[in-house]
Amino acid sequence: MSMKSKAWLVGGGIGSLAAAAFMIRDGGLPGANISILEAAPVMGGSLDGAGDPAAGYSMRGGRMLTTDNYECTWDLFKSVPSLNNAGKSVFDETVEFNERHRSDAMARLVDRRRAKVPVASMGFSMQDRAELLKLSQTDEDTLAASRITDCLSPSFFETEFWYMWSTTFAFEPWHSAVEFRRYMHRFLLEFSRLDTLAGVKRTIYNQYDSLVLPLQSWLAAQGVRLVADCKVTDFDHKVEDCTFIVTGIQCRRQGKREVIALNDGDLVFLQNASMTDASSLGSMTHPPPKLTKADSGGWTLWEKLADAWALFGNPAVFNSCIAQSCWESFTVTLKNPAFFDQMIQFSGNQPGTGGLVTFKDSNWLMSIVLAFQPHFPNQPEGVQVFWGYSLFPDRVGNFVPKPMDECNGAEILQELCGHLRFDPETVASAYCIPCRMPYITSMFMPRTRGDRPLPVPAGSKNLAFVSQFVEIPDDVVFTVEYSVRAAQMAVYQLLGINRKIPPVTPWDKSFRVQLDALIKEFK
């Protein structure tokens, strides 16, 4: 690749931002040669977070990270300067923050009696153990498109382990057995600390302010063009000598149609689909509107490409059943300390030291988490923000006679107070913003080999894929790490960079770790 080559990144999520950074840091490409085209008004994609005390804060997700995994993420953020601590990297400041605020959750599961469920034992029967072991040892081609329920008996889904594991990682029983197996291997260390979430690391603020903004600022300082409100609608391409070559990018920029002609040597990195595609926000008085991919057009580009080249994957596997891939989150802004005070008393955890508190018998399977405060840099003293989500929003609630996806913010607070037996006065000043995400677990849909393209598919000359919907051996989706790893792989391959990509740490191959996990599990 010549230093005159230009790189075009379609989508402004962490995957693209990371790809731009790797091209500059490891490939030596000048920042001015790189453009990121993002359909939304801001960069960051799923890692969003915004608001103020008057309108309420909102973020679609709250993230748990680890420093035992996330090898590529930290490789990147060791090079990204902190915005708040001069001379330190984002990695340094995050590690220091987590040393000061260690996770030691004391209320992971709460039952219908409002009692904290003892979770040190995972609740497995001998049959559950045998089935789990068998699943973990079965290879991916044998499991193929099977679902978790195809491999594990009904009793497994009533264990404390399943309630904690499924809500920590957002698995539902009908999801891919292959992905569930990968998680068991990748996060083996978490088996023995799932009850306290002691391995979890968090960012100082929400992930938009703590990860996206510092990275975006660094990229802007290198001269990268960050183009918002620019939706790519199609690629012009040609096929020559059995290779697929993108020759132009068609887009709508601030409503106006544009075609970007590519030169020989130019590169394109596509974020093929997004877990937060077609997501929508509600308010205290309105539920979020029910959107689909037809409203957003977010999957269209990948669908067109998959029709054009056999090795570009099969998006229909992931986006054809909203009933199996949808759930809802909510962000609550409080101007009265009563809710936090009562949660601290109930859980025994100060904000930022607990984990997900899951109401295991709730019809919606609702969880909340109280992060360290402030969670937003502009959050004034006296204002508190927390986040929660429910895995089954299509079910009628226990305290609100409606499915969650028909509820406004006030009704979601009513359901939450019902499970906690908190007086409604506790949330009288609260503002709750619900968020519906129809494709949030689309990456977990059962799949077989070839349904996801490789970061650089065979036969592709200048097009790479950087997303949650690419095939990376051993790594797991629904993580920031997966997108960053995809970015690093795609960039290194297309730019021919001869630097080692940090491998997936083989915790599952470590005898000591396996032994500790087994001892804990059999206790």
Of 129 and 225, nearer to ligand FAD (C-beta) is 225
The whole-angstrom separation of Cα 107 and Cα 357 is 6
Candidate segments 31-39, 97-105, 155-163, 335-343, binder of ligand FAD by CB under 6 A:
31-39
The whole-angstrom separation of Cα 472 and Cα 71 is 14
DSSP assignment letter at 201: B
Of 14 and 383, nearer to ligand FAD (C-beta) is 14
Candidate segments 173-181, 315-323, 333-341, 476-484, binder of ligand FAD by CB under 6 A:
476-484
Candidate segments 5-13, 148-156, 392-400, 504-512, binder of ligand FAD by CB under 6 A:
5-13
By CB under 6 A, tell whether 478 contacts ligand FAD.
yes
Q: Which member of 9, 39, 80, 417 binds ligand FAD (CB under 6 A)?
A: 39
Q: Which member of 6, 25, 63, 202 binds ligand FAD (CB under 6 A)?
A: 63
By CB under 6 A, tell whether 215 contacts ligand FAD.
no
**What would the two tokens of residue 300 be?**
């269209």
Q: Which member of 46, 331, 363, 367 binds ligand FAD (CB under 6 A)?
A: 46
CB of 112 to ligand FAD, least distance (A): 26
By CB under 6 A, tell whether 212 contacts ligand FAD.
no
Q: Which member of 20, 37, 391, 400 binds ligand FAD (CB under 6 A)?
A: 37
Q: Collapsing DSSP states into helix, strand and coil, what is residue 328?
A: strand
By CB under 6 A, tell whether 468 contacts ligand FAD.
yes
Of 325 and 349, nearer to ligand FAD (C-beta) is 325
By CB under 6 A, tell whether 334 contacts ligand FAD.
no
The whole-angstrom separation of Cα 344 and Cα 517 is 30
Q: Which member of 143, 148, 177, 232 binds ligand FAD (CB under 6 A)?
A: 232
Q: Collapsing DSSP states into helix, strand and coil, what is residue 10?
A: strand
Candidate segments 44-52, 83-91, 93-101, 393-401, binder of ligand FAD by CB under 6 A:
44-52
From the list 53, 18, 56, 468, the residue with the least C-alpha distance to 276 is 468
Residue with tokens 């790479």: 464
CB of 243 to ligand FAD, least distance (A): 23
Is the separation of the CB atoms in 436 and 419 below 8 Å?
Answer: no
By CB under 6 A, tell whether 517 contacts ligand FAD.
no
By CB under 6 A, tell whether 10 contacts ligand FAD.
yes
DSSP assignment letter at 250: E
**What would the two tokens of residue 474 be?**
């051993």
CB of 249 to ligand FAD, least distance (A): 9
Name, in order, each residue with C-beta under 8 angstroms of 322's C-beta and a sequence gap of 6 or more. Answer: 292, 438, 439
The whole-angstrom separation of Cα 223 and Cα 220 is 5
CB-count exposure of residue 221 (10 Å: 0-12, 13-18, 19+): exposed
**What would the two tokens of residue 240 be?**
């020559």
CB of 65 to ligand FAD, least distance (A): 6
CB of 480 to ligand FAD, least distance (A): 4
The whole-angstrom separation of Cα 21 and Cα 8 is 13
**What would the two tokens of residue 112 be?**
């219908």
The whole-angstrom separation of Cα 325 and Cα 443 is 8
The whole-angstrom separation of Cα 98 and Cα 102 is 6
Which helix (H) or strand (E) segment holds residue 310: the answer is none
Binding residues for ligand FAD, rule CB under 6 A, total 35
Q: Which member of 27, 45, 351, 393 binds ligand FAD (CB under 6 A)?
A: 45
R_g of the chain computed on alpha carbons: 23
Residue 18: what residue type?
Answer: A
By CB under 6 A, tell whether 13 contacts ligand FAD.
yes
By CB under 6 A, tell whether 463 contacts ligand FAD.
no
The whole-angstrom separation of Cα 207 and Cα 95 is 15
Which helix (H) or strand (E) segment holds residue 386: the answer is strand 384-390
The whole-angstrom separation of Cα 47 and Cα 27 is 26
Of 60 and 237, nearer to ligand FAD (C-beta) is 60
The whole-angstrom separation of Cα 24 and Cα 242 is 30
By CB under 6 A, tell whether 40 contacts ligand FAD.
yes
Of 65 and 90, nearer to ligand FAD (C-beta) is 65
Q: Is the peptide bond before 377 cis (omega within 30 degrees of 0)?
A: no
**What would the two tokens of residue 43 be?**
């960069």
The whole-angstrom separation of Cα 491 and Cα 113 is 52
By CB under 6 A, tell whether 103 contacts ligand FAD.
no
By CB under 6 A, tell whether 50 contacts ligand FAD.
no
Candidate segments 10-18, 26-34, 136-144, 393-401, binder of ligand FAD by CB under 6 A:
10-18
- Alpha-carbon distances, residue 376 vs 210, 276, 387 (angstroms): 9, 21, 12
Is the separation of the CB atoms in 409 and 431 below 8 Å?
Answer: yes
Q: Which member of 329, 408, 460, 462 binds ligand FAD (CB under 6 A)?
A: 329
By CB under 6 A, tell whether 315 contacts ligand FAD.
no
Of 300 and 373, nearer to ligand FAD (C-beta) is 300
Write the binding mask 273 to 312 for ligand FAD: x where contact by CB under 6 A, - elsewhere.
-xxx---------------------x--x-----------
CB of 431 to ligand FAD, least distance (A): 19
Of 102 and 134, nearer to ligand FAD (C-beta) is 102
CB of 48 to ligand FAD, least distance (A): 8
Residue numbers at the binding site for ligand FAD (CB under 6 A):
10-15, 37-40, 45-47, 60-61, 63-65, 231-232, 271, 274-276, 298, 301, 329, 440, 467-468, 478-481, 483
